[in-house]
Structure 1
Amino acid sequence: MYTPRAFALDDLPEIQQLIQHTRLAQVVTFGEQGLQASHLPLLLNPDEGPNGTLYGHLAKANPQWRDLHNGSDALVIFAGADAYISPAFYPAKAEHGKVVPTWNYIAVHAYGKAEVFTDAERLLKLVSALTERHESGRAQPWAVSDAPADYIDGMLKAIVGFALPIDRLIGKRKLSQNRSAADMAGVREGLTASQDVRDQTLARFIPKEPV
């Protein structure tokens, strides 16, 4: 990911927080069938390895798991908030007109090689942890144990788990830090005034001072 210095995010705890706040990641590999990508919910153990370890699973019918099994390098993309930035947001537009549209966004790329596993006990622990994470906010959370045991056993036979120690991380926060403080304030105000909740979300990340 091209990351100019002004947009680089190097703080490991902050990067890991962004990973944990991203509900669906994109796992990209290259193998015998060329490039493959899957959209997956993942778990991060931040304390396992120097950058943390990612856990997830693929359907056994999904051939991408073979790339992981064969030692393919994996790229995992965590896309955060994003928004179109109109030149109309910038006070500089009225001053000299030398402005163009751009896109602001937050993203993390994680790289590594995965270990694949099919052990039923380990898979059950993984899917239970994933379920607990996404059910925890509900008034009556559903648990894997709510389903018949023989049904869950059959479902576990249909998936392949993986653990991916993160070898390298690239974090990027493109938030108009290369503009003046006035232009950054204009971006923040413009996004806050938008009717789109995605724009409003990104507005909260715009810093007050340029890099």
Structure 2
Amino acid sequence: MRDFWETHHWPEGERRAHWHVLFDDQPAVHNFARAHAEILSPHPELSPVPVQWLHSTLQSIGPLTPAQAGAVAAAGQAALRDFEPFELEIGPAQAIHNAVAPAIYPEDRISELFWTLRRATEGVVGPEVMPKAPDVFWPHMSLAYSNTQWNDDELARALVKLRPSRARMTVTRAVLVSQQQLWRDKYIWTPIAEVHLGQNLQHIAVAKSGGERL
């Protein structure tokens, strides 16, 4: 397994806006993550994601001014006004090239959510400032990031044997956050706004002063 942080190093203090699916109100997802703690904890090569910071990234955007963040939130709300909530399952977890990450199924609706928010966000900030769009969106939730290069064969075998029940949930919202990287540890964020699928925009945080980036 490779070092996740080596290729995901943000400038110190930088905050980047992201669209996320969050799991703060999903006990089944929390239980799924906790079921892996005994397997993950013996490995100092891993930086486990605390339950309160579990997330599935829909779209990385980058630094935004408060005005841009408000416009992105409004564009997301307009784009998702008729996008109905949907069911998904998380798991099983697998050791990938730089993390332990369960996939999310089925992929079609959450991928559609990604592309809808991608187009809406591009309409505000422009496609040239966005990270390159993937050929195929891969929905996932990271349980731990690798913090070095190491042989993870033993971990991979343990994950195959564990196989806890998949976590089931209904996706009802997409959350725009101002995200910060705690180097070689985890990501944390402050919510900017959330969009309830098929409903209206619910503002959580009011834009900050002047040209401060979110």
Using CA pairs under 8 Å that are at least 6 residues apart, name the structure with larger relative contact order, 1 or 2: 2
Do they fold alike, i.e. is TM over 0.5? no
Indicate the structure (1 or 2) with the bigger Cα radius of gyration: 1
Q: TM-score, normalised by structure 2?
A: 0.26
TM-score, scaled to structure 1: 0.26
